[in-house]
Amino acid sequence: MTRLLTMKNLVIEGFQKETWSQIVSGVDLHVDRGEVMGLIGESGAGKSTIGIASMGFCRPGCRIVNGSIQFGDTEMTMASDAVLRRIRGVRISYVAQSAAASFDPAHRLIRQHAEAPVRHGIMSHTEAELHARELYRRFDLPDPDTIGNRFPHQVSGGQLQRAMVAMAMACKPDLIVFDEPTTALDVTTQIEVLATIKEAIRDLNSAAIYITHDLAVVAQVADRIMVLRHGKVVEEGPSRALLASPKEDYTRALLSVRKGGGTKIPHRHEGEPLLDIEGVTAAYGGGPPVLQDVNLRLTRGKTVALVGESGSGKSSLARVITGLLPPARGSIAFDGAELPAKLGDRQKETLRRIQMIYQMPDVALNPRQKVHEILGRPVEFYFGTRGTEKRRRVAELLEQIELSDHYLTRFPSELSGGEKQRVCIARALATKPDLIICDEVTSALDQLVAKEILKLLQRLQNELGVSYLFITHDLATVKAIADEIVVMLQGKVVEHGTREEVLTPPHHEYTELLLASVPEMDPDWLDNLLKTRVGAKLREGPASERLSRIER
Amino acid sequence: MLSSLLRQIRKAPWSARLGFLIIAINLLAFAFAPQLAPFEETEIIGGVWEPGFWAADCSEEALSLRGPCWSQLNHSRVDGKAWLGTDHLGRDLLSRMLYGARNSISIALIITALSFFIGMTLGFLAATMHGWVDQLVSRTVDVMMAFPTLIFALIVLSVAGTSTPVLIIVIALLDSTRVFRLSRAVALDIEATEYVEVARLRGERLSWLMWREILPNTLPPLIAEFGLRFCFVFLFISALSFLGLGLQPPTADWGSMVKENAGAITFGVYTALVPAFAIAFVTIGVNMVADWFLRKAAGLRDEY
Amino acid sequence: MSKLSAYILKRIAFAFVTLFVISVLISLGVEFLPGDLAKSILGQQATAEALAAFRAELGLDQPLHVRYIEWLGGLMRWDLGRSLANDIPVADLIGARLSNTLFLAVVAAAIAVPLSVLLGLLAALFKETPFDKLVSMTTLTTISFPEFLVAYILIALLAVELPLFPSMANVTPAMDFWDRLHAIALPVSTLVLVVVAHIMRLTRAALINVLGRPYIEMAQLKGMTRAWIILYHALPNSLAPIINVIVINLAYLVVGVVVVEVVFVYPGLGQLLADSVSKRDLPVVQASGLIFAATYVLLNLGADVLSVLANPRLRHPK
């Protein structure tokens, strides 16, 4: 095998908070012809920066300060712009995380596909478009002959991502850089794109760098895996060997996150009902209903997981419960009493008892308030506590979320993502609530941090007896924390029951698809899945759309 | 507070520092006009359009090159005291410039402040209350903004007559539409964040949402906008005064001073350019500082 | 009905509502403002008969709706009333001046729009280079200059010190096209300088805003040149804001020329308006104000429709 790309002692700096600091510190990496290299790590690992550095490119605010990047015969760090342009898009191409953002909204897909081959003088316009249609056909895109004439906004997310993979192959490159190409997609859509990527790499026999934070995903495509942390290599090795016997603790920790689950202690007996939603139908403005005849029951001290993909209406249900979206029909009973539909009609005491935690801790904390102000306000607002008593209570809350009191005077911008989410939890606890609605509270966090947060929530429930309505798209989380599961699809509840009932067959068709889509560490998982009946269905495209069509 | 401002200024690029310098000079003139001015605001001290320090050279040679030396022709009490010469009525230009700084800047400041008070209050109300309040104010503003500002002002002034209070109210109202648009847009951005939703769900009152949760996060763009609106108002008032519809004589006001002295330009007497340049300098200074502030604010936002 | 045509119809309806509100405000505005117009114009010593005659002349003695309908009817027949100051029909006074103003605006726009968009593109292309910084500083300075300063500097340089062009832009029907152009050289230059600065700054800002998008990075990673990226990717996506700023400036060229016309004593509508306001010649103010406002509303309507058409999401719905 011949060496295609060699990086030696690569150091890249980024400009942050008025100083240059290292994002990548001394990474060695090589890729051979026809080989797929998986780069894995949490946010801040520098994996994406390394990926595009292989094209001799740095994002604004970054600079390569040391090391060499040898691609073929070219030293990319020394090459002129003209030389780099001849390589980018021709010999190395790039697949970005979000196709919706990375396609120019002003031009048709096929035009953008043909841009690189035509502008680089490799093909004529007709040849390039012919090749494009051929690729669309090979990747099973619907209407391969005409889909290229559409604009990006006229194509679904998964299809767009596949069209971008096709675009990356327009010049038959030697190396493709995949930068988290499935992260922004729903689980069932992820399969269709993963299958396309795998096919693309296999068919063209091109080499690839595959960047992701999900070990199970990278296990499906990579020949070798490199684990990165804080810009340094943790360990590197052939996929199967690394997954079977990781050498480093960090890798083991990453592996255990995926294998994890089942930490939940089953609850002993039926409790009294806390929340009872009956026949709720709701819509935004005069639009189509986002919720249709939804029923849900939550027992005091328990956790109900609300599972669904984007557009399933799970967050809208949270808004109905909090009073932000008054339902058109149906009723909600909270602790035996009817909840007024509108937020403005509810008693202060009711508001106190239902709290909410959000997906993005970054925007859930007022950046101009210090931690003690954020936590102190609800204490003062609901209980009229002031002075020393208030300070004591805030300190107690910090203790509950396992943060020291140094954090009292910090602004949110001085906290890490996990710490911010802890403060959000403390703010919810400050009101001594009966019910906390957790809306995708772990999806924006790194896996190891997310695991800690789940543990914390679990401990708090055991100690305080608070109930959770846990909204998520991630079935691994569901397995870890739920007592009961409600599966939603296009605004309707398709299945509900205890965790055991829902997770053991027979399933509703959609639940089956959802469960089958969760990647496993086994490198053969995807290949095996695609051979099954469920896999064939997933291959066809967005499961949620197709299924809801059947239901109508 | 002041020391941190000074530290910021030291770190700022040269354009912003120049801006601060210009603003500082004008603030001095603004505050100490009576102490600094050698003559009274409306005091006639000599001949018409006498030259200033540049005409001190009245030698034969200079005369043959430049034509008659004015201060020699009119033996007045100027005696080199009128550094910038005299205006069309023989008043000291420097003194009038100093008093003019006071009048022109203060009226623009008052108007901008009033316009921000109206625009921000309505903008924040519309953004936090939504519904019919938002619709009503937004549509009214749409109609008002579909109307050219200068024409609107001219029509109102032709009916109501040109008096300072009318001027202030009319321009502040017209200008507040732009402030409304911006503060509503910025507030809506903030209002959509989860921390405001948290406060709303907590049952906080409207005033808490507006002034405690939203306002602190909208300050940087609004402060920069204050600078830009001030520039606009300042130029607008100058234009009205230039047309003879702004501040009325004998009040010293830069725009009117340009108008009064403009006739001499075609004869090569450039007295009118002095107040005109002064207007430009103030605007440039404020613009540069606002520009710098806006960039700084945009950079800061990435951190959150 | 598609979203696109629905939006455009809504915009047109809004333009008509605005025009209606404006016409009501202009024709009846006298009523809503404090003070007795007749007294303040004729003076405190005016006799009761004189005041009554004055009110009858302006129709101030009739009920509001009658007044508005009569005024509107007159407008339809291009009967705009009589000037109080000159006692000739307003329509006669306005006719030639309107075409003079439009001539000035069209010439200035023909030079300024292509020039400023080109400069904006170049500044974005050479962002952070000395060229860009020079252009940015110059335009920041120019937008800070009051129009009359730009005008007087031009007069001082090109009419007084170096007598190339007339300082008074007097045009008469007898002049041919080139003589006219020579006569308005300085007012046109003033307007061009002011307008170019505005359009250029915002064109550059709009382009640079788009240059931060992921699809621009994608194009860079496809090995495209900066010039291609700006023309093929950034420009089509920043059309809406660019169209908007161009139209706002066109509106300014028609509406905001008042000061420039006064400086150069140009026989246009703007100068007439400024004159009439100081003479409180109400019928003239009303008529020219309405013409200006209508132009402004129509231009804004055009901008809105064009920028909607520039949006592929609306042009090619799902």
Alpha-carbon torsion C266, C272, C274, C278, what sign?
Answer: positive
Residue C181 domain-assigned (yes or no): yes
Residue span of the structural domain in which A158 resides = 3-260
Residue A265 domain-assigned (yes or no): no
**What is d(CA A232, CA A243) in angstroms, rounded to the nearest whole number?**
19
Residue showing tokens 């007559």? B161
- Can you give the pTM of this predicted structure? 0.83
Cβ contacts of residue A500 below 8 Å, gap of 6+? none
Question: Nearest 10 degrees: CA dihedral of A543, A547, A548, A549?
Answer: 110
| Average pLDDT value for chain B | 80
Query: What beta strand segments (E) does A135-246 contain?
Result: 175-179, 207-212, 224-229, 232-238
pLDDT given for residue B77 in this prediction: 44
- Residue A307 and residue A451 share a domain: yes
Long-range contacts of the stretch C39-47 (C-beta < 8 A, 24+):
C40/B161, C40/C280, C41/C84, C41/C280
Which residues in chain B have their CB less than 8 angstroms from residue A427's CB?
198
Q: Which of residues A209, A227, A260 is at a domain's end?
A: A260
Query: How confident is residue B84, by pLDDT bands cut at 50, 70 and 90?
Result: confident
Between B15, B279, B291, which is nearest C149 by CB? B279
Least confident of A104-113, B5-14, C113-122: B5-14
Residue span of the structural domain in which C108 resides = 90-315
For the stretch C172-186, pLDDT in tens is 777 788 888 888 888
**What is d(CA C193, CA C198) in angstroms, rounded to the nearest whole number?**
9
**CATH number, domain with residue C191:** 1.10.3720.10
pLDDT given for residue B72 in this prediction: 46
Q: Which two tokens stand for residue C215?
A: 């699809």
Q: Is residue A116 within 8 Å of residue C222, measured between CB atoms?
A: yes
Q: Which amino acid is at A203?
A: D
Cβ contacts of residue A19 below 8 Å, gap of 6+? none
| CA geometry: angle C281, C284, C288, nearest 5 deg | 140
Residue A169 domain-assigned (yes or no): yes
Which residues in chain B have their CB less than 8 angstroms from residue A343's CB?
200-201
3-state secondary structure C103-166: HHHHHHHHHHHHHHHHHHHHHHHCCCCHHHHHHHHHHHHHHHCCHHHHHHHHHHHHHHHCCCCC
Give helix then strand counts, H and E, for chain C: 17, 0
User: What number is the average pLDDT over the span A382-408?
Assistant: 91
**What is d(CA B216, CA B221) in angstroms, rounded to the nearest whole number?**
11
Q: Decide if B203 touches A, using CB distance below 8 A.
A: yes
Distances (CA, A) of B264 to A166, B44, B259, C157, C316: 72, 18, 10, 14, 60
Least confident of A248-262, A394-408, C202-216: A248-262
**Percent helix, strand, coil in chain B (nearest 5)?**
75, 0, 25
Query: How confident is residue C78, by pLDDT bands cut at 50, 70 and 90?
Result: confident
| Average pLDDT value for chain A | 87
Is C146 in contact with B150 (Cβ distance < 8 A)?
no
Residue of C198, C209, C183 lying closest to C265 (CA atoms): C183
Q: Is residue A1 within 8 Å of residue A61, measured between CB atoms?
A: no
**What is d(CA B115, CA B175) in angstroms, rounded to the nearest whole number?**
6
Domain count, chain A: 2
For the stretch B16-29, pLDDT in tens is 888 888 888 888 88
Residue C34 domain-assigned (yes or no): no
Q: Is B270 helix (H, G, I), strand (E, B) or coil?
A: coil
**What is d(CA A148, CA A141) in angstroms, rounded to the nearest whole number?**
10
Q: Is residue C15 within 8 Å of residue C301, measured between CB atoms?
A: yes
pLDDT given for residue B243 in this prediction: 86
Q: Is B152 helix (H, G, I), strand (E, B) or coil?
A: helix
Q: Which two tokens stand for residue B270?
A: 């450039």
Q: What is the largest CA-CA distance in chain C?
A: 84
For the stretch C27-69, pLDDT in tens is 776 666 555 666 666 666 777 777 777 777 666 667 777 777 8
Residue C35 domain-assigned (yes or no): no
- Residue A75 and residue A214 share a domain: yes
Query: How confident is residue B219, by pLDDT bands cut at 50, 70 and 90?
Result: confident
- Residue A285 and residue A238 share a domain: no
Which residues in chain C have their CB less than 8 angstroms from residue B159's CB?
29-30, 33, 37, 280, 282
For the stretch A309-363, pLDDT in tens is 888 888 899 999 999 999 999 999 998 889 998 998 999 999 999 999 998 888 8
Q: Which two tokens stand for residue B255?
A: 């725009």
- Residue A211 and residue A347 share a domain: no
DSSP H or E segment with residue B103: helix B93-129
Q: Is residue C310 within 8 Å of residue C240, measured between CB atoms?
A: yes
Least confident of A41-50, B74-83, C186-195: B74-83
CATH fold of B14-37+102-262+273-297? MetI-like fold (1.10.3720)
Residue C290 domain-assigned (yes or no): yes
Query: How distant is the Cα of A85 from the closest Cα of chain C, in angstroms?
Result: 4
**CATH number, domain with residue A312:** 3.40.50.300
Cβ contacts of residue A480 below 8 Å, gap of 6+? A260, A261, A262, A263, A264, A454
Partners of residue A304 on adjacent β-strands: A469, A484
Query: How distant is the Cα of C101 from the closest Cα of chain B, in angstroms?
Result: 15
Cβ contacts of residue C40 below 8 Å, gap of 6+? B161, C280
Q: Is residue B256 within 8 Å of residue B242, measured between CB atoms?
A: yes
Distances (CA, A) of B195 to A54, B213, B243: 40, 8, 50
Q: Could you tell me how far CA A289 lies from the centroid of its own chain? A: 26
Residue C199 domain-assigned (yes or no): yes
Query: How confident is residue C140, by pLDDT bands cut at 50, 70 and 90?
Result: confident
Query: How distant is the Cα of C192 from the closest Cα of chain A, in angstroms?
Result: 31
Chain B residue whose CA is closest to A366: B195
Residue showing tokens 């114009």? C41
Cβ contacts of residue C82 below 8 Å, gap of 6+? C57, C88, C89, C90, C283
DSSP state for residue C208 in the 8-state scheme: H
pLDDT given for residue A371 in this prediction: 94
Which residues in chain C have their CB less than 8 angstroms from residue B279's CB?
146, 149
Long-range contacts of the stretch A284-290 (C-beta < 8 A, 24+):
A284/A316, A284/A325, A289/A328, A289/A491, A290/A316, A290/A491
Residue A267 domain-assigned (yes or no): no
Question: Nearest 10 degrees: CA dihedral of A124, A126, A127, A133?
Answer: 140
Q: Decide if B195 touches A, using CB distance below 8 A.
A: yes
| A518 pLDDT more than 80 | yes
What share of chain A has pLDDT > 70, as a percent?
95
Chains touching B (3+ CB pairs < 8 Å): A, C
Between A88, A98, A103, which is nearest C221 by CB? A88
User: What number is the average pLDDT over the span A215-230?
Assistant: 91
For testing contact with chain C, the best of B144, B158, B274 (most C CBs within 10 A): B158
| A517 pLDDT more than 90 | no
Q: Could you tell me how far CA B29 lies from the centroid of its own chain? A: 14
Between C35, C140, C300, which is nearest B146 by CB? C300
User: What number is the average pLDDT over the span C208-214?
Assistant: 87
Q: Which of residues A260, A283, A302 is at a domain's end?
A: A260
ipTM field: 0.83
Between strands A273-283 and A289-299, the pairing is antiparallel
Is C223 in contact with A116 (Cβ distance < 8 A)?
yes
Task: Please name the residues between 295 and 334 in chain A that touch chain B, using a CB distance below 8 Å.
Answer: 322-324
- Residue A288 and residue A253 share a domain: no
Q: Is residue A58 within 8 Å of residue A64, measured between CB atoms?
A: yes
3-state secondary structure C24-84: HHHHHHHHHCCCCHHHHHHCCCCCHHHHHHHHHHHCCCCCHHHHHHHHHHHHHCCCCCECC
pLDDT given for residue A31 in this prediction: 93
- Residue A239 and residue A214 share a domain: yes
For the stretch C262-318, pLDDT in tens is 888 888 888 888 888 878 788 888 888 888 888 888 888 888 888 888 888 777 776
pLDDT given for residue B154 in this prediction: 81
| B75 pLDDT more than 90 | no
- Residue A314 and residue A209 share a domain: no
**What is d(CA A278, CA A281) in angstroms, rounded to the nearest whole number?**
9
Query: How confident is residue A436, by pLDDT bands cut at 50, 70 and 90?
Result: very high
Residue showing tokens 């020291």? A404
Report the 10 Å Cβ neighbour count for B223: 14
Query: How confident is residue A206, by pLDDT bands cut at 50, 70 and 90?
Result: confident
Between strands A232-238 and A303-307, the pairing is unpaired
Least confident of A215-219, B42-46, B193-197, C247-251: B42-46
Which residues in chain A have their CB less than 8 angstroms from residue C222's CB?
88-89, 93-94, 115-116, 119
Where are chain B's structural domains? Answer: 14-37+102-262+273-297
Is B217 in contact with A324 (Cβ distance < 8 A)?
no
Q: Decide if B263 touches C, using CB distance below 8 A.
A: no
C-alpha radius of gyration, chain B, whole number: 24
For the stretch A250-293, pLDDT in tens is 998 888 876 544 455 555 456 788 999 999 999 987 788 899 99
DSSP H or E segment with residue B291: helix B273-301
**What are φ and ψ of residue A62, in 5° steps?**
-125, 155
For the stretch B92-116, pLDDT in tens is 778 888 888 888 888 999 999 999 9
**What is d(CA A113, CA B89) in angstroms, rounded to the nearest whole number?**
73
Task: Please name the residues between 116 and 145 in chain A that touch chain C, using a CB distance below 8 Å.
Answer: 116, 119-120
Least confident of B149-153, B183-187, B283-287, B299-303: B299-303
| A131 pLDDT more than 90 | yes
| A19 pLDDT more than 70 | yes
3-state secondary structure A64-78: EEEEEEEECCEECCC
- Residue A325 and residue A452 share a domain: yes
- Residue A281 and residue A255 share a domain: no
Q: Decide if C24 touches B, using CB distance below 8 A.
A: no
pLDDT given for residue A133 in this prediction: 93
Q: Which amino acid is at A39?
A: L
Question: Nearest 10 degrees: CA dihedral of A61, C138, B148, C92?
Answer: -150
Chains touching C (3+ CB pairs < 8 Å): A, B
Least confident of A67-76, A367-376, C52-61, C130-139: C52-61
| A109 pLDDT more than 90 | yes
Number of A to B CB contacts under 8 A, please give it: 48
Q: What is the largest CA-CA distance in chain A?
A: 77
- Residue A278 and residue A251 share a domain: no
Task: Please name the residues between 238 and 257 in chain B that touch chain C, using a CB distance below 8 Å.
Answer: 238-239, 242-245, 255
Q: Decide if C280 touches B, using CB distance below 8 A.
A: yes
Q: Which two tokens stand for residue C100?
A: 């003079």
**What is d(CA B185, CA B124) in angstroms, rounded to the nearest whole number?**
9
